[in-house]
């Protein structure tokens, strides 16, 4: 063990750090044999100077704690991990991205049972994700862990550094990220955005899960479809068709895998209040079991608002009783309360004449010119920034030997089929 400690403390340069990783990987069995005494090994080590040594030592320590079920010692492990994640050396993490990601997952597992554990884990995991990512645009396995911690702690605003980032780049050798990590990232991002009441953006995040390449359905895709349906209804009062580039396995089977939500979308589109209420009652247990009862309730509210908005575009005045009847509300009082709430939130312009029991609708004011200009400027800036990122990604792919080899090979196959003639197309398809 003294030799290992000496190797950890003496490593200074990138070459020495690379050699240290090889040494630590070859000595993992020795570390496991001394797992319960690794606290003594970690004592003289500190981040960022000894990041790699701490990553390997704490990984082994976590495995030993999991086997022993030694909860009293878990708090010490969590505290050591927390300090490491907050101060990890980015340059050293390049040599052990997988080990670091595993340690982050173990840290969250051990932190959650601690008092305010999820809240305690958010900041270290955000720092760890930033340290592991080569650039602010890279996705890492730790991004999903940080979002998960923020969701469990119900501190959705703490997730904004990830939610507001443009995470579009993937570098497996540098980060160890997998397709599963990417799906979890977008799924958890959608949940965090729901917590922030940003349902339109949440629907976009869930759609990224639904349009990811897939050969079969998995639980993440199905759950994302359920929440995508609900968020789409809340944000835009309709569920759009899945894009054509979505995987066939998703477009063919996901609707049947989430029948209660497909029924809800159909009832919403029918504009029949009674039909919607029947679906809500019929599938209430499913919505509760899925943890989506709150979103479903917001969908019902969105349906009521859609009915009133539609009536406001048709009538100038309408009795509150007629309004309640047309919108499928229980009473004139409910119609009045919802109408005033919508007017207060700026969703429509309306007044209530309580003496006559009438609702008076007016055309909405057009957007303020200054506000409109500011909004357009902001969107143009976003579009320009996105264009620059896409060009950078295009240039990167254009210089990628593996991508070019696949492209050339595919082009050769297409060219070969073109020369086969009309009588050989079926045979060629069978071979492919």
CATH of the domain at 331: 1.10.10.10
Q: How many domains does the chain have?
A: 2
Annotate 17-73 with DSSP letters as a single string: HHHHHHHHHHTHHHHHHTGGGHHHHHTT--TTTTHHHHHHHHHHHHHHHHHHT-HHH
Residue 26's pLDDT is 87
Does residue 287 form part of some domain? Answer: yes
Distance between CA atoms of residues 406 and 400, nearest Å: 10
Q: Is residue 16 one of the residues assigned to a domain?
A: no
Tell me: pLDDT of 421 over 90.
Answer: no
Same domain, 306 and 321: no
Q: Decide if 206 is inside a domain.
A: yes
Residue 239 shares a structural domain with residue 297: yes
Give the model confidence (pLDDT) of 105-154 as tens digits.
Answer: 999 999 999 989 999 999 999 999 999 999 999 999 999 999 999 999 99
Q: Is the peptide bond before 48 cis (omega within 30 degrees of 0)?
A: yes
**Claim to verify: residue 223 and residue 270 sit in the same structural domain:** yes
Indicate if 303 and 321 belong to the same structural domain. Answer: no
In a domain, 140, yes or no: no
Residue 251 lies in a domain: yes
Q: What share of the chain is helix, strand, coil (3-state, %, to 5)?
A: 75, 5, 25
Q: Examine the domain organization and report whether 305 and 322 are in the same domain.
A: no
Across the beta sheet with 358-362, the strand order is 317-319, 358-362, 349-353
- Decide which of 176 and 360 is more confident: 176
C-alpha 180/C-alpha 194 separation (Å) is 21
SS3 sequence, 94-105? CCCHHHHHHHHH
Residues 283 and 323 both lie in one domain: no
Structural domain ending residue among the three candidates 310, 326, 343: 310
Residues 261, 228 within the same domain: yes
Same domain, 206 and 305: yes
- 322 and 303 in a common domain: no
Confidence of residue 1 (pLDDT cuts 50, 70, 90): low
| Maximum average pLDDT range among 165-169, 205-209, 307-311 | 205-209
The answer to whether position 350 is within a domain reads yes
Q: What is the pTM of this model?
A: 0.83
In terms of domains, do 304 and 319 share one?
A: no
Range of the domain at 332: 315-362
In a domain, 188, yes or no: no
Tell me the C-alpha distance between 217 and 246, whole Å: 12
Helix axes of 71-87 and 97-111: crossing angle, nearest 10 degrees: 130
Q: Exposed/middle/buried for 81, CB within 10 Å: 0-12, 13-18, 19+?
A: buried
| 300 and 322 together in one domain | no
Distances (CA, A) of 171 to 94, 178, 208, 287: 11, 10, 19, 38
Q: Is residue 238 part of a domain?
A: yes
321/302 same-domain check: no
């Amino acid at each position: 063990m003294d030799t290992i400690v000496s190797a950890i403390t003496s490593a200074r340069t990138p070459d020495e750090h690379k050699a240290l990783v090889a040494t630590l990987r070859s000595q993992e069995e020795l570390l496991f044999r001394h797992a319960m005494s690794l606290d003594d090994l970690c004592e003289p080590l500190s981040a960022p100077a000894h990041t790699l040594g701490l990553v390997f030592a704490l990984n082994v320590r976590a495995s030993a704690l999991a086997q022993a079920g030694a909860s009293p010692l878990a708090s010490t492990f969590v505290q050591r991990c927390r300090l490491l994640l907050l101060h990890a050396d980015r340059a050293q993490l390049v040599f052990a991205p997988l080990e670091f990601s595993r340690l982050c997952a173990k840290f969250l597992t051990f932190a959650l049972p601690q008092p305010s554990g999820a809240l305690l884990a958010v900041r270290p995991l955000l720092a760890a994700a930033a340290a592991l990512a080569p650039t602010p645009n890279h996705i890492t396995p730790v991004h999903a862990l940080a979002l998960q911690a923020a969701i469990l702690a119900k501190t959705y605003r703490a997730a904004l550094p990830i939610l507001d980032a443009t995470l579009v780049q993937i570098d497996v050798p540098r980060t160890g990220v997998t397709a599963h990590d990417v799906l979890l990232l977008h799924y958890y991002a959608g949940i965090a955005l729901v917590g922030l009441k940003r349902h339109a953006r949440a629907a976009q995040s869930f759609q990224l899960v639904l349009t990811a390449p897939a050969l079969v359905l998995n639980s993440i895709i199905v759950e994302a479809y359920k929440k995508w349906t609900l968020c789409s209804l809340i944000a835009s009062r309709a569920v759009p068709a899945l894009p054509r580039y979505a995987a066939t396995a998703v477009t063919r089977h996901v609707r049947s895998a989430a029948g209660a939500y497909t029924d809800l979308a159909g009832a919403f589109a029918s504009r029949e209040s009674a039909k919607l209420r029947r679906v809500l009652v019929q599938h209430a247990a499913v919505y509760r079991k899925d943890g989506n009862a709150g979103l479903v309730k917001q969908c019902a509210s969105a349906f009521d608002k859609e009915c009133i908005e539609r009536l406001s575009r048709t009538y100038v005045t309408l009795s509150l009783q007629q309004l309640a009847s047309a919108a499928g509300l229980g009473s004139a009082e409910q119609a009045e309360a919802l109408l005033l709430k919508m007017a207060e939130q700026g969703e429509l312009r309306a007044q209530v004449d309580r003496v006559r029991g009438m609702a008076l609708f007016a055309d909405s004011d057009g957007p303020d010119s200054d506000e409109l200009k500011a909004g357009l400027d902001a969107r143009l800036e976003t579009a320009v920034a996105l264009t620059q990122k896409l060009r950078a990604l295009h240039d990167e792919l254009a210089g990628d030997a593996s991508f070019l080899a696949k492209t050339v090979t595919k082009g050769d196959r297409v060219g070969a089929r073109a020369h086969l003639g009309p009588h050989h197309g079926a045979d060629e398809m069978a071979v492919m």
